[in-house]
Amino acid sequence: MTDADIIAMITELVISLDEEKAITAVQNALDEGYDPLEILQKGVLAGLRVIGDKFGSGEYFLPELMMGADLSEACTNKIMARIPEQANASRGVFLLGAVQGDLHDIGKSLVLRQISLAGYKVYDLGINVPSMTFIDKAIELNADIIGLSAFLDATRPYYSEVINYLRDMGLRNKYKVIIGGVASSAELSESIGADGWAPDAPSAVRLCDKLMGH
Ligand code: B12
């Protein structure tokens, strides 16, 4: 099998919701020395994206969506165990949470991990985070950047709620606010007055570096 075949096989096993075989295939690929991030992005997450599309088009239902999420998380945890933690964190302080009402956290965890690896001190505020909690924590932890993650049309308004609260409290210039997740886009970022948007974890790192002047 070629490298591309092995990655494609992982994608297929994720799409077909075969948890046991998917985890074994990920483990084997890791043991054979494949790049962990390649296995993650092009294998596991590519499969999860197809599951989301099938759910969106009515081919898969909520149980399949949940199984897909669980098996992707199990694979992601295995892969992340191969990526070293960052010891020295001096590039800035970054807070990230899923906005109020939003329970999607797989993308958020990847962003946190990559930003931590890039040398930032990171704090995970978790999921379903009320807008004022982002602000309270930013003050408490002396954050540089607040990251807002949202995946639903229904939770998109909370991006601007956080920004508006900051503005009302006279704190808008104290923190950079960046947005991400499927509910976001560059245009949205621009229109709500965020400091930036990024489509994935590597570009989130580049965005933070740019905002911090690194
Ligand atoms: C997995 C999943 C779930 C899981 C979540 C499990 C978990 N622990 O996270 C479960 C089963 C719980 C779930 C529930 C629901 N889901 Co859902 N879910 C998904 C799915 C398939 C994948 C999301 C995901 O984790 N992707 C993996 C990540 C790694 O991919 P990614 O987005 O590329 O991640 C990158 C970027 O987003 C970015 N990023 C993320 N956050 C941030 C933050 C910042 C600051 C930055 C800069 C970047 C950034 O970096 C990430 C890493 O590279 C999506 C489909 C999709 N296309 O996204 C639907 C999807 C988001 N869900 C959807 C829906 C409808 C729901 C439910 C309402 C279903 C229901 N009827 O109950 C509930 C809502 C729950 C809630 N209140 O939040 C819809 C949303 C539709 C809409 N437009 O509103 C989608 C799009 C599916 C679809 N096609 O219909 N879901």
pLDDT at 115: 93
The last residue of one of the domains, among 32, 48, 80, is 80
- Give the rounded percent of residues in the chain with a pLDDT score beyond 90: 87
Question: 105 and 9 in one domain?
Answer: no
- Classify residue 85: in a domain, yes or no: no
Residues 30, 125, single domain; the answer is no
Average pLDDT, integer, range 25-48: 94
Distance CA 129, CA 78 (A): 27
- With contact defined as beta carbons under 8 Å apart, do 34 and 54 qualify? no
In angstroms, the CA 145 to CA 179 distance is 10
Determine the distance separating the centroid of ligand 1 and the alpha carbon of 41, expressed in angstroms.
Answer: 15
Hey, what amino acid is at 95? Answer: L
Say what the pTM is: 0.92
- The alpha carbon of 168 and the centre of ligand 1 are apart by a number of angstroms equal to 30
Of all residues in the chain, what percent carry a pLDDT higher than 70? 98
**Is the separation of the CB atoms in 201 and 110 below 8 Å?**
yes
What are 129-181's pLDDT values in tens digits? 999 999 999 999 999 999 999 999 999 999 999 999 999 999 999 999 999 99
Give the residue among 64, 78, 84, 87 at the shortest CA–CA distance from 29: 78
CATH value at residue 105: 3.40.50.280
Check if 176 has its Cβ closer than 6 Å to any atom of ligand 1: no
First-to-last alpha carbon distance for the chain, in angstroms, is 42
Q: Is residue 36 part of a domain?
A: yes
One domain, residues 14 and 110: no
Q: Where among 80, 114, 144 does a domain terminate?
A: 80
Q: How far is the CA of 55 from the centre of ligand 1 (A)?
A: 11
Q: Is the shortest distance between the CB of 196 and ligand 1 below 6 Å?
A: no
71 & 113 share domain = no
**At residue 84, does pLDDT exceed 90?**
no
Asked whether residue 26 falls in the same domain as residue 111, the answer is: no
Mean pLDDT over the full length of the chain: 94
pLDDT for the residue 87: 57
Pair (27, 114) in one structural domain: no
CA–CA dist 82, 59 (Å, integer): 34
- Domain match, 123 and 183 both: yes
CA of 196 to the centre of ligand 1 (A): 20
Residue of the CA atom closest to atom 30 of ligand 1: 107
Tell whether 99 and 175 lie within a shared domain. Answer: yes
pLDDT score at 89: 67
Per-residue pLDDT reduced to its tens digit, 15-24: 999 999 999 9
Q: What is the pLDDT of residue 83?
A: 80
Same domain membership, residue 204 and residue 99: yes
Helix or strand or coil: residue 85?
Answer: coil
| Tens-place pLDDT, residues 106-123 | 999 999 988 988 889 999
Q: Scan for tokens 């004022």, then name that residue.
A: 132
CA 4–ligand 1 middle distance (angstroms) = 26
Ligand 1, pocket-test mutation among 103, 182, 197, 200, most atoms within 8 A of CB: 182
Answer whether 49's CB lies under 8 Å from 41's CB.
Answer: no
b/e string for 19-32 if b means 16 or more Cβ within 10 A?
A: beebbebbeebbee
Atom 7 of ligand 1, nearest CA residue: 104
What is the C-alpha separation between 190 and 213, in angstroms, rounded?
20
Confidence band (pLDDT; 50, 70, 90) for 214?
confident
Question: 120 and 75 in one domain?
Answer: no
Contact 41, 10 (CB under 8 A): no
One domain for residues 128 and 207: yes
Domain that holds residue 169: 93-212
CATH of the domain at 60: 1.10.1240.10
Domain finish residue from 45, 80, 115: 80
Number of domains in the chain: 2
pLDDT number for residue 88: 64
Calculate how far, in angstroms, residue 113's C-alpha sits from the geometric centre of ligand 1.
18
Q: In degrees, to the nearest 5, what angle opens at C-alpha 41 toward C-alphas 185 and 94?
A: 55
Average of pLDDT values for 71-98? 87
Mean pLDDT confidence for 173-194: 98
112 shares a domain with 199? yes
The pLDDT score that the predictor gives to residue 154 is 98
* Better-scored residue on pLDDT, 37 or 99: 99
